[in-house]
Structure 1
Amino acid sequence: MFDETTAHPTPEALARALPPGFVIGTATAAAQIEGASRAGNRSPSVWDRFAAQPGRILDGSDTSVTADHYHRYREDVALMRDLGADAYRFSFSWTRLQPHGRGPLDPAGSDFYDRLLDELQEAGVSPFATISHWDLPEEYAHGWLDRETALRLGDLAHLLGERFGDRVDAWITINEPATVTLNGYALGLHPPGESLLFDALPTVHHQLLGHGLAVQALRAAGVPGRVGIANVHSPVSPAADTDEDHAMAALFDLVHNRVYADPVLLGRYPEAPGFLGDALAAFDAVPADDLAQIHQPLDFYGLNYYMPTLVAAGAGSGESPDGTSQAMAGLPFRLEAFEGVPTTGFGWPIKPDGFVRALGEMQERYGEALPPVYITENGASFPDEVGPDGTVDDRERIAFLGDHLRAAIGAVAPGGPAEGLDLRGLFVWSLIDNWEWAAGFTQRFGLVHVDFTTGDRTPKASYHWLRELLAARRADRLSA
């Protein structure tokens, strides 16, 4: 399938290996790129409030401008068109569309997304829209700890479906509920900044309930586009071959992977093995009707993959680039580094074989219950800058993307560990450098470099690499 004489696959080799109809797109999130936090009638979000608290954002930056996509969306869509991307995954800003989280859609906010969708349509780029990407109105004081938030998400989904359903090809109800629970409510690294550890588990259920209600609301609105969810999955391994490490790896797998996918795909929460005690007791009293609401038929499942996880028993200490190690000090397990494995700017291990395992586990666990899958996020941060010649040499990102795309295609090929999984596409995170949440502007994930002072966009070497891959795919199709 690939030229194995080279360390990394060439664009031409990858193009030849892409299955027919395989979607290649780019992805972003509203809070990270739009800026214009006071434009129109937009009200403050939980991230606006969080960023205003001293010490919450690594470099002290905020959401007011970010990448200024609100004013430069035409330029960004032109970059997608030049790239040859099939699709663009973006998210709606809740408070731009529904100020204060209640009432009808705001005309000014709606007009912005009308313009964006029209621009995408003219460029021939398919819109994949995320309804909730880590953001909430600041009025939702208890956030996902409050069951009412799930109902509000369903209400918003119906409004969006009625307004934009004719131009959105695919809908993602909610993005990475696992990260929202872990970083926002268990570890205190994201809004609302709660450090509840296992007491954060009710937010899992409320997010999944919101997902189920949103699915039903979109379909009640008659949207013709496909409907799904996106969650991050990380294959988990014990750091050592001991009973304690195996037990803690199983616990992390449950609370990071299975409690999110099992209810959505199987209609039930996983049972905790006896040695884990009452770790999942929060789900024991879940009403059966709630599970029926969550377990909606889906047109696709979005899987975000960045890295595998190595878990050891015992509390951790010290710090990591994303702040996780210190925040996890109160848990009965810790995350360990993979020895001898290169890392991204965030310190995340670069292991394409983990991607293979993640896909294999999804196929093994869910089988026929698993709908077609899109890789809704895959990418890496590296400290790249514009050089004296005006170019950005991010060869590490090229290697990362090429190796991970090759791994995904190989995993689902005949004889692969995920054979039978219907993999439909991959979205690169991200189109442009963005405001990376609590890390501020310290981490760059984009195919396009953004000067956060001037707003200038400079396509990186990885952008040109992906453009070459997509051009080679088009040439192959024409010659077939």
Structure 2
Amino acid sequence: MPIPNPIPELSKSEFPDDFMWGCSTSSFQIEGAASEAGRVPSIWDHFAEQAGRIRDGSDARVACDHYHRWQEDLDIAQKMGLNAYRFSISWPRVISDATGTINEEGLQFYSDLVDGMLARGLQPWATLYHWDLPQYLQEQGGWENRATVYAYLNFADVVSRRLGDRIKNWITHNEPWCTAMHGNWDGMHAPGNRDFKIALQVCHHVLLSHGLAVPLLRQNVSDAKVGIALSLHPLRPATTASKDVEATRRHDGLRNRWFLDPLHGRGYPQDIWDLTGAAAPQVQRGDLEAIAAPLDFLGVNYYFPEVIQDAPEKPPLATNVVHDPDCERTAFGWEVAPQGMASLLRRIQRDYQPVPMYLTENGCTYDDVVEADGSIHDAKRRDYFIRHLAVLREVIREGIDVRGYFAWSLIDNFEWAEGYLRRFGLVYIDFQTQQRTLKMSGHWYRDFLRG
């Protein structure tokens, strides 16, 4: 099917020869096998058991059955022409209890998985924490409890000692904003708290665990490259009124600067710290220096910009995210804005002069329709990827150091609080039969990568 204007023409040859081309996944969303081979419950297993938490009432006990079908999924990734594969390692599958008991069968699964990647020419990119905290730790306070920082370091130590001879690229955490804020402020995600003070303390402990893990991973892994993946958003005020402009600055302070500033040695932004009042996190001596451990790369997860409006009735930030009615949107309601990605990357480069960046997630959900012949003509998703990659091409030509792109996601999966209502995959999953079908977008990505 021809690509209509104004969809740009695009060629892989327009990107650097050593560019990383991958897809991203996460353990809880795809693996299933929730109670097999020594895996213990995570906070998301517990969350899904609570009525009303997951929109379609589902859970991830089977998900994509990747635990049993990983070879098929890696075959798909290889045939697609990827040279990198981003995955996460399930803490509850590797560490069985609060005393640190190692589940050898869980570790062996990831060892086999990594060997499978390497055998298919896929460079493994491992994320240590993608939100699936063991429930046994949540029952001791979870990330609000500083002891979880040291439990995480033990987990990172065990995994990197076992797999570090084959994995060189490590992401300590995926989207600390979601761990802290969605999990503990608005309650959308596990564990479902609604307490701003808890959320800020969780955020600090997650960032601290990242900072302390950086030298540990480098100690255990020869030539390790260590980074973190942040969910970042370009922002714009709803109007030119000074109140909305100021609200946008406040919102940026917690959405973006609260993470970028301490990671780059600036501590928490003072203007936002002043707004937190009694909710400010407890920070011990040396914490900020640890968080600022030098990175080897910065992972940027980009999906959409946010439009900000002043909202005095909503402390502490007194901001509100509003919709621009004129914008194209995905089925999730997220704005389709490739230029937003460009403005975000330019802003990071300008304000932080970071180490090399990677687009560690970028993707979209639409309501896929399976045709009578079994095909899925997801032209909107295909065009989404083309338009975003065309913008990325221009940003790289400007001299901004972006070295890789990971589409979210390889396969449809359990989309957290949305259950199975949202599909982000380049590959369609029939969750009744577990049959995998490459969508039009997946065919395009394959053809693009194979030239």
TM-score range, shorter chain: over 0.9
Deviates more, 1:279-288 or 1:458-467: 279-288
Decide which moves more: 60-69 or 307-316: 307-316
Whole-angstrom CA distance in 2 between matches of 1:131 and 1:121: 19
Q: Can you list the C-alpha shifts for 1:272-331, whole angstroms capped at 9, x where unaligned?
A: 17xx95337755863341111111111111000000011111279xxxxxxxxxxx8996
Partner of residue 359, structure 1: 345
- Indicate whether 1:307 and 2:291 are aligned: no
Matched with 1:192 is 191
Q: Could you tell me the percent identity over the aligned residues?
A: 39
Aligned counterparts, 1:333-348, within 5 A: 333-348=319-334
Paired residue secondary structure (2:177): helix
Aligned to 2:373: 389
Q: Distance in 1 between matches of 2:221 and 2:346?
A: 34
SS in 2 for 1:216: helix
2:127 and 2:407 map into 1 onto residues whose CA distance is 15
Contact 1:77/1:123 (<8 A) preserved = yes
Do structure 1's residue 105 and structure 2's residue 102 form an aligned pair? Answer: yes
Q: What secondary structure sits across from 2:251 in the alignment? A: helix
How far off is 1:143 after superposition? 1.8
8 A Cα contact 1:161 1:223, kept in partner: no
- Residue in structure 1 matched with residue 405 of structure 2 by the alignment: 426
- Is 1:408 the counterpart of 2:392? The answer is yes
Q: Which residue of structure 2 aligns with residue 17 of structure 1?
A: 14
SS at match of 2:229: strand
Matched, 1:375 2:359: yes
Taking the aligned partners of 2:248 and 2:193, their CA distance within structure 1 comes to 24
TM-score by length of 2: 0.95
In the alignment, the residues of structure 2 paired with residue 167 and residue 178 of structure 1 have an alpha-carbon distance, to the nearest angstrom, of 29
For residues 259 and 83 of structure 1, do their structure 2 counterparts lie closer, same or farther at Cα, with a shift above 3 Å needed? same
Task: Give, in whole Å, the separation in 1 of the partners of 2:175 and 2:50.
Answer: 24
> Normalization by structure 1: what TM-score?
0.89
Q: Provide Cα deviations, 1:157-188, integer angstroms capped at 9, x if missing partner.
A: 11111000011131000000011122111100
Confirm or deny: 8 A CA contact 1:356 1:408 kept in the other structure.
Answer: yes
1:62 alignment partner, one of 49, 59, 75: 59
Q: 1: distance between equivalents of 2:72 and 2:328? A: 34
Q: Which residue is equivalent to 2:203?
A: 204
Instruction: Name the aligned partner's letter for residue 286 of structure 1.
Output: V
Q: Which amino acid aligns with 2:191?
A: P
Q: Secondary structure at the match of 1:140?
A: helix
State the AA in 1 paired with 2:342: V
- 1:232 aligned partner, one-letter code: S
Q: Shift in Å at residue 100 of structure 1?
A: 2.6
Post-superposition offset of 1:190: 0.6
Match of 1:467 in 2: 446
Q: Give the Cα separation in 2 of the matches to 1:175 and 1:277.
A: 27
Q: Could you say which residue in structure 2 is the equivalent of 1:325?
A: none
Equivalent AA in structure 2 for residue 42 of structure 1: R
Partner of 1:122: 119
1:159 aligned partner, one-letter code: V
- For residues 129 and 295 of structure 1, do their structure 2 counterparts lie closer, same or farther at Cα, with a shift above 3 Å needed? same
Corresponding residue SS for 1:64: coil
Given that 2:94 and 2:102 are in contact with CA atoms closer than 8 Å, whether structure 1 keeps it comes out as yes
5 Å-filtered alignment, 1:75-474, equals 75-141=72-138, 142-197=141-196, 200-272=199-271, 277-279=274-276, 286-314=283-311, 332-367=318-353, 370-414=354-398, 419=399, 421-472=400-451
Aligned counterparts of 2:420 and 2:96: Cα–Cα separation in 1: 26
Distance change in 2, residues 1:199/1:239 (3 Å): farther
Cα distance, 1:5 vs structure 2: 9.6
Which amino acid in structure 2 is aligned with residue 349 of structure 1? E
SS at match of 2:23: strand
- Name 1:323's counterpart in structure 2: none
Partner SS, residue 97 of structure 2: helix
Q: Note the C-alpha offset of 1:243.
A: 2.2
**CA distance in structure 2 between the partners assigned to 1:280 and 1:80 by the alignment:** 48
After the TM superposition, which of the residue ranges 220-229 and 303-312 deviates more from structure 2? Answer: 220-229
d(CA) in 2 for partners of 1:222, 1:29: 22
**SS at structure 2 position matched to 1:230:** strand
Find the aligned partners of 1:216 and 1:447 in 2 and give their Cα distance.
35
Unaligned runs of 5+ in 1: 317-327, 473-480
Aligned amino acid, residue 291 of structure 2: I
* Distance change >3 Å, CA 285–CA 71, structure 1 → 2: closer
- Give the whole-Å Cα distance in 1 for the aligned partners of 2:118 and 2:329: 37
User: In 1, Cα distance between the equivalents of 2:164 and 2:42?
Assistant: 24
